[in-house]
Amino acid sequence: MKDLEQDEALSYATVESPLGPILLAGTPKGLRIVCFLAGDDPIAPGKAWREEPPLFAEAARQIAAYFARELTGFALPLEPEGTPFQLAVWEALRAIPCGKTLSYGELARRIGKPTAVRAVGAANGRNPLPLVVPCHRVIGADGSLTGYHGGLAIKERLLALERGDWFA
């Protein structure tokens, strides 16, 4: 597990999901990190982080509702850190409807950068809020599943959940 060395002390909590525990981290202003701890790229809380589950009660409630298929989008205060380009990509991800997918090329067109497909892919891969900012809904131009923070197995299960093919 990677250990995040952060200058800033973040608060964090771990919530359970049908895909294993999920680490949530952020500040009172908003959620900054979502990480599938059973996935391919788990992280550990930084040494200065404080465990504060009450701060993430609403996020935990919405995540449980999502996996129960009672929620199709998240309404949480978010505070991702990234470049202006990354922030634009991540905002565009939030507009992809639950149960739908689109290609990296289409996402690039939607943000007005049709030739920036690789940059869009890189920004998608750096999304610090997977699940909440649904980067799992982006697929290859040929319809194939491509990389995901938590691994392709988690991406596949999230898409199946949203299609109604898998129930938590």
Structural domain boundaries, residue 40:
2-67
Instruction: Over range 3-28, report the average pLDDT.
Output: 86
Work out how many domains the chain is built from and give that number.
2
The DSSP element (H or E) to which 110 belongs, if any, is helix 104-110
Question: Is residue 97 in some structural domain?
Answer: yes
Q: In whole angstroms, what is the distance from residue 134 CA to residue 8 CA?
A: 26
Q: In whole angstroms, what is the distance from residue 110 CA to residue 120 CA?
A: 11
Instruction: Over range 125-141, report the average pLDDT.
Output: 95
**Per-residue model confidence (pLDDT) at position 167:** 54
**Per-residue model confidence (pLDDT) at position 166:** 65
**Per-residue model confidence (pLDDT) at position 150:** 81
Instruction: Over range 97-116, report the average pLDDT.
Output: 95
Q: Are residues 124 and 58 in the same domain?
A: no
Q: Are residues 114 and 48 in the same domain?
A: no
pTM, two decimals, is 0.91
Res 2 pLDDT > 80: no
Task: Given the residues 23, 43, 96, 135, select the one marked as catalytic.
Answer: 135
Our answer to whether residue 135 is catalytic in this structure is yes
Q: Are residues 52 and 95 in the same domain?
A: no
**Per-residue model confidence (pLDDT) at position 168:** 45
Q: In whole angstroms, what is the distance from residue 43 CA to residue 21 CA?
A: 12
